[in-house]
Amino acid sequence: MTGNTEVVVIGGGYAGVLAANRLTQRDDVAVTLINPRPAFVDRIRLHQLVGGSHDAVVGYKDVLAEGIRLVVDTVTRIDAAGRGVMLASGGTVGYDYLIYAVGSGSADPSVPGAAEFGYPIATLEEAQRLRAVLDTAPAAAAVTVVGAGPTGIETAAELAEAGRTVTLVCGGVLGPYLHPRGRRSVARQLARLGVTVLDGPGATVTAVTRDTVRLGNGRELPSTVTIWAAGFGVPGLAARSGLSTDALGRLRTDETLTSVDDMRIVAAGDSVAPSDLPFRMSCQAAVQLGPHAADTVLSRIAGRHPATLALALVAQCISLGRRAGIFQLAHRNDVAMRPYIDGRPGAIIKEFICRGILWQVAYQARKPGSLNWPGWAKDAKRRQLLQAEHGETLATR
């Protein structure tokens, strides 16, 4: 593809690929996608990679629109003044507009021994490493999963269903996002699978050794393999490049996803903090933020004012092995409500959504611009929060 406007997308996950594909609506836009891996990671399947039921990888040829230039490299710095990005290989790629979609990874653990002896699971390489460790561990080896969000729950269930002896250490409540009714359903299914769930104030990890996990109540758990699933962090690229970030390192933007520092930089996915009110790090948010970031760039190219966010998070899906799951419904402001679907129907819905997301990403490669979220998919309470906390100053630029 040749064009007059060069757009660089950093990050080839859900948000980055959807943004890159959507940009190809215009023939005068040349799109370069920079990603450290040569293949697309279907990240919501990583717990299945660990359990051995999926490889969680798809070729970019299946999900990228024809004409997008793929650069397999790592961006080490963004030169906003010079409109260029520096690569680990030593090269530089210039841009007219930049979409920052670097995603997230495992948070750096502050617990003594966790970084040395725990196995994180937030990236493809981490999941592959953990899979190799489990393959060499005895079948009866004690496995401890630390963290009771969706990643921890799904990993614990997957391994228990495969016959592993699993303890899930919650560090608080099981499934903090879930409605209490949904939480009880998840607890019942984990019990059926044989997972030992440790929750409550005493279930906080204070230290990890090669073969134990120490809790806040003084208890020590034997643990041959300790899996660390306690939260996400974001790459430090934005802060390292002198751009404004929030306390976690997410790029600060307005409600059009435009950087507060530079109108040529737009962000999407887990690494963005619009109006200092970031969305939950999730595939559900990424598949909405990616297209919106592309629309912001396309609007600026066309000389139009970009639209503000119209995004809602209305559910959370969690698989509980291959035969059960939960589909927890939520209000549009991402607060769980009473209704949920569990058991086998929950598993079917989760699998349908997982397949549907990948299908949608691939379809956008063939039909860019066809993904448009309905008008009702907007959290009305977000505007109220923006007005209460910021007035109108951060809403748009």
For residue 65, the surrounding DSSP H or E stretch is none
Cα torsion 137, 139, 140, 142: sign:
positive
Please determine, for residue 287, whether its predicted confidence score (pLDDT) is greater than 90.
yes
Q: How confident is the model at residue 1 (pLDDT cuts 50, 70, 90)?
A: very low
Please determine, for residue 25, whether its predicted confidence score (pLDDT) is greater than 70.
yes
Separation of alpha carbons 342 and 331, rounded Å: 18
Three-state DSSP class for 169? strand
Beta strands (DSSP E) in 345-391 are none
- How many CB atoms are located within 10 Å of the residue 330 CB? 20
Amino acid letter, 100: Y
Cα torsion 317, 324, 120, 222: sign:
positive
Please determine, for residue 80, whether its predicted confidence score (pLDDT) is greater than 50.
yes
Mean model confidence pLDDT for the chain: 94
Residue range 118-127: mean pLDDT, rounded: 97
User: 3-state SS of the chain: helix, strand, coil percent to 5?
Assistant: 30, 25, 40
pLDDT digits (tens, 9 = 90+) for 7-22: 999 999 999 999 999 9
pLDDT digits (tens, 9 = 90+) for 28-67: 999 999 999 999 999 999 999 999 999 999 999 999 999 9
The pTM for the full model equals 0.94
Three-state DSSP class for 272? strand
C-alpha radius of gyration, the chain, whole number: 21
Query: Alpha helices of 137-201 — where are they, by DSSP H?
Result: 150-161, 180-193
Among 160, 190, 17, 5, CA closest to 101: 17
Token pair of 163 as six digits = 């016959």
Judge contact between 66 and 60, C-beta under 8 A: no
DSSP 8-state code for residue 36 = S
Separation of alpha carbons 264 and 259, rounded Å: 8
Which residue has tokens 């997308």? Answer: 9
pLDDT digits (tens, 9 = 90+) for 322-336: 999 999 999 988 999
Q: How confident is the model at residue 394 (pLDDT cuts 50, 70, 90)?
A: low
Lowest mean pLDDT among 5-14, 151-160, 168-177, 367-376: 367-376
Angle, vertex CA 123, rays to CA 118 and CA 124, nearest 5:
110
